[in-house]
Amino acid sequence: MDEVVTVIRRRVELVAGWLATAGLTLFAGWLALFPAEEVTFFSLAQGLFAMWLGIWVVWLASAHPKLVVSTRGLDIVNWVCRYRIPWAAIHRIETTDHISFRLLDGTTVLPAVAAWSIVAIKHGNPVQQAMANRIEQIRANGDPDDTEVTRTLEICWLPFVVLLVLLLILAWLSTH
């Protein structure tokens, strides 16, 4: 049975990402509801589409990444990829100014949430070292036979497509 031990996120980036996404979404909604009189639907739609892409990128870069540590292995979500890595597939864990996982097949996976930061480097990377130590403790109890690593695309497209459709409906209604 796979039990989640901990979920690691960068708190400042997570909160900033949520706030930026919410603020940009509200601003886009306001622009869709109250366009200037001379604006056509198509010019408004182009602007909203550009804002929508920006909102999506802000979300993917800040609020989306996480590192899930479970009894089965790691679930690493970076900007657009999700890696499911069982404990037996990890050759070694390297800690420098970031944490990287060297796999048995020679590839290296760098979790976005365990990347370097100026504060970490200034203080000798204690957070990265603590994360690596905790992951090593949990890894010792993993299944030695499970070595299949999966990599999938994870872009959270559905909520953002719904947002785009709603913005375009609001723009259509406000310009007609």
> 């706030």: which residue's tokens?
19
List the one residue out of 138, 124, 19 whose CA is nearest residue 72: 138
pLDDT at 143 over 80: no
pLDDT at 10 over 70: yes
What integer pLDDT is reported at residue 168 of this predicted model? 97
Q: Give residue 124's pLDDT band: very low, low, confident or very high (50, 70, 90).
A: low
Q: Which of 7-11, 17-21, 69-73, 115-119 is predicted least confidently?
A: 115-119
pTM of the model: 0.82
> 């459709």: which residue's tokens?
165
What integer pLDDT is reported at residue 121 of this predicted model? 62
What confidence tens digit (pLDDT) does each residue in 17-32 have?
999 999 999 999 999 9
Burial of 64 (0-12, 13-18, 19+ CB in 10 A): buried
What confidence tens digit (pLDDT) does each residue in 83-122 have?
999 999 999 998 877 889 999 999 999 999 887 666 666 6
Other CB atoms within a 10 A radius of the CB of residue 4 amount to 11
What integer pLDDT is reported at residue 116 of this predicted model? 66
What integer pLDDT is reported at residue 172 of this predicted model? 96
Q: What is the average per-residue pLDDT within 128-134?
A: 78
Residues 174, 32: contact at Cβ < 8 Å?
A: yes
Q: Which residue has the higher pLDDT, 23 or 137?
A: 23
pLDDT at 16 over 80: yes
Q: What is the average per-residue pLDDT within 53-58?
A: 96
